[in-house]
């Protein structure tokens, strides 16, 4: 039986608490993938496992008022406010998402749902927010379920369900549920790993990674010309698909050992290779496209030059966009800040200083 079927069945045997209205609020962070999720199949299942660092500062705060409807209802009724303003486009995406999980969360139709959401980072920063947004939303729904059915008091079960629901909204969101690091996708390298939900990856981290920094160098804040969802689809018939799958499984084994042993050089080699491979896959898709700009390339070259001359272990990665994430241990923070100020100001618009975080936080 699939996990989805198990979740559908398990609620049927539980009795429901009489809840009239409740407000639930979660702050959930974004994450940056070290080994990338690129390509999916079926219902939001990844073609390969991925692992990410969970961030601290880049987060979404989502507050949901669930008010019990008077009569019976079979549909989702919701209002969505982003940064204080009603946002119909987001409301439609969320309504579609909630409708798609109604077999798992049938109780949602019993409430008028009012969602207020906002990001801790500037809206125009060009940072992917689907991971923080969908993980915050999924956590609110999971909390509602626990209030109504009192079935998720065990932390592990709660996170598993939240990650499962987050994944159905946006794949990378499944990993944001966990402090420090999340691993999503079934792999022999991690016991208990699954394609249906992410698991805690923090146990893999050598102390050298505990205080890792991520300085996000904003090259452009413009909307992406091709969405990640469209990019994932292009992997279905990608000419290099088999090669990518071989590469990504090798990278997972290698990064696991680099994370465990604290081998920064090996870590950096894999992380940078993953970033460049991701964008090479976009270039060689059909149709091909690119999201990096000349400035992205300048920044990457300067990082490599700086690393060579300073011997400071700092490594870049990219998500599906032009902005560069610079990863390094905290002890080098002031040298890196100086490097950014002296060398990169002509290439970047802004920088967001982030670091590994402790995962989502329930606010109400």
Q: Does 292 bind ligand DP6 (CB under 6 A)?
A: no
* Closer to ligand DP6 by Cβ: residue 233 or 257: 233
Please tell me whether residue 296 binds ligand DP6 under the rule CB under 6 A. no
Shortest distance, position 55 Cβ to ligand DP6, whole Å: 12
Shortest Å distance, C-beta 153 to ligand DP6 = 29
Distance CA(342)–CA(325), nearest Å, equals: 17
Q: How many CB atoms lie within 10 A of CB 109?
A: 17
Site for ligand DP6 (CB under 6 A): which residue of 7, 26, 37, 197? 37
Positions in 43-72 near ligand DP6 (CB under 6 A): 50
- In the chain the first and final C-alpha atoms are separated, in Å, by 35
- Confirm if 219 and 348 have CB atoms less than 8 A apart: yes
Q: In angstroms, rounded to a whole number, what is the distance separating the alpha carbons of residues 131 and 55?
A: 11
What number of chain residues touch ligand DP6 (CB under 6 A)? 16
**Nearest one of 270, 280, 279, 275 to 249, comparing CA atoms:** 270
Nearest residue (CB) to ligand DP6, 202 versus 323 = 323
Is 232 among the residues that bind ligand DP6 (CB under 6 A)?
Answer: yes
33 binds ligand DP6 (CB under 6 A): yes
Stretch near ligand DP6 under the rule CB under 6 A, chosen from 152-160, 224-232, 304-312, 339-347: 224-232
Q: Does 272 bind ligand DP6 (CB under 6 A)?
A: no
Question: Hey, which bits of the chain come out as E strands?
Answer: 21-35, 40-41, 45-46, 50-68, 77-82, 85-86, 111-119, 181-184, 198-200, 213-218, 315-318, 324-328, 350-355, 361-362
Dist. CA 78–CA 201, nearest whole Å: 34
| DSSP conformation class of 71 | S
Q: Is 207 exposed, middle or buried (0-12, 13-18, 19+ CB in 10 A)?
A: exposed
For β-strands 21-35 and 50-68, DSSP reports them as antiparallel
CA angle (75, 79, 80) in 5-degree steps: 125
Q: Taking CB under 6 A as the rule, does residue 136 contact ligand DP6?
A: no
> H helices within 65-154, ranges in order?
88-100, 130-149
Whole-number Å distance between alpha carbons of 325 and 214: 6
Residue 172 interacts with ligand DP6 (CB under 6 A): yes or no: yes
Regarding 129 and contact with ligand DP6 (CB under 6 A), the answer is no
Which residue number, 54 or 111, has a Cβ lying nearer to ligand DP6? 54
Among 28, 228, 277, 323, binds ligand DP6 (CB under 6 A): 228
- To the nearest whole angstrom, how small is the minimum distance from the Cβ of residue 130 to ligand DP6? 5
The answer to whether residue 315 forms part of the interface with ligand DP6 (CB under 6 A) is no
Which of 130, 132, 215, 277 contacts ligand DP6 by CB under 6 A?
A: 130
Q: How far is the CB of 160 from ligand DP6 (least distance, A)?
A: 18
Choose the binding region for ligand DP6 from 11-19, 35-43, 143-151, 200-208 (rule: CB under 6 A).
Answer: 35-43
Nearer to ligand DP6, 36 or 295 (CB): 36
Residue selected from 171, 185, 268, 357 as contacting ligand DP6 according to rule CB under 6 A:
171
- Using the minimum distance from each CB to ligand DP6, give the nearer residue, 9 or 100: 100
* Stretch binding ligand DP6 (CB under 6 A), from 185-193, 194-202, 204-212, 227-235: 227-235
Number of H helices, E strands in the chain: 9, 14
> How many Å apart are CA 180 and CA 202, to the nearest integer?
5
Q: Which residues bind ligand DP6 (CB under 6 A)?
A: 33, 36-38, 50, 128, 130, 170-172, 228-229, 232, 278, 319-320
């Amino acid at each position: 039986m699939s996990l989805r079927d198990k979740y559908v069945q398990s609620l049927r045997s539980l009795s429901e608490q009489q809840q009239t209205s409740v407000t639930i609020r979660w702050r959930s962070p974004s994450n940056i993938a070290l080994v990338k999720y690129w390509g999916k199949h079926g219902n939001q299942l990844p073609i390969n496992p991925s692992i990410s660092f969970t961030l601290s500062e880049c987060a979404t705060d989502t507050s949901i008022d669930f008010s019990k409807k008077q009569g019976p209802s079979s549909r989702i009724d919701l209002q969505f406010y982003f940064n204080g303003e009603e946002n119909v486009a987001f409301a439609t995406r969320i309504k579609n998402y909630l409708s798609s999980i109604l077999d798992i969360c049938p109780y949602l139709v019993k409430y008028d749902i009012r969602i207020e959401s906002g990001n801790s980072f500037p809206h125009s920063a060009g940072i992917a927010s689907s991971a923080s947004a969908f993980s915050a939303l999924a956590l609110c729904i999971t909390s509602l379920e626990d209030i109504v059915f009192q079935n998720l008091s065990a932390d592990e079960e709660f996170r598993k369900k939240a990650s499962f629901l987050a994944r159905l909204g946006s794949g990378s969101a499944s990993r944001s549920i966990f402090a420090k690091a999340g691993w999503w996708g079934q792999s022999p390298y991690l016991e208990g790993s699954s394609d249906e939900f992410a698991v805690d990856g923090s146990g893999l981290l050598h102390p050298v990674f505990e205080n890792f920094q991520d300085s996000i160098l904003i090259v452009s804040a413009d909307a992406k010309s091709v969405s990640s969802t469209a990019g994932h689809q292009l992997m279905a018939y990608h000419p290099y698909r088999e090669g990518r799958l071989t590469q990504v499984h090798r990278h997972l084994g290698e990064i696991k050992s680099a994370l465990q042993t604290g081998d920064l050089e090996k870590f950096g080699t894999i992380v940078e290779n993953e970033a460049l491979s991701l964008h090479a896959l976009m270039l060689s898709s059909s149709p091909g496209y690119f999201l990096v700009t000349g400035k992205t390339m300048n920044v990457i070259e300067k990082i490599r030059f700086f690393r060579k001359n300073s011997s400071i272990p700092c490594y870049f990665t990219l998500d599906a966009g032009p902005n560069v994430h610079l990863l390094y241990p905290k002890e080098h923070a002031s040298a890196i800040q100086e490097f950014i100020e002296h060398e990169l100001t002509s290439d970047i618009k802004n920088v967001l200083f982030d670091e590994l975080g402790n995962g989502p936080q329930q606010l109400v």
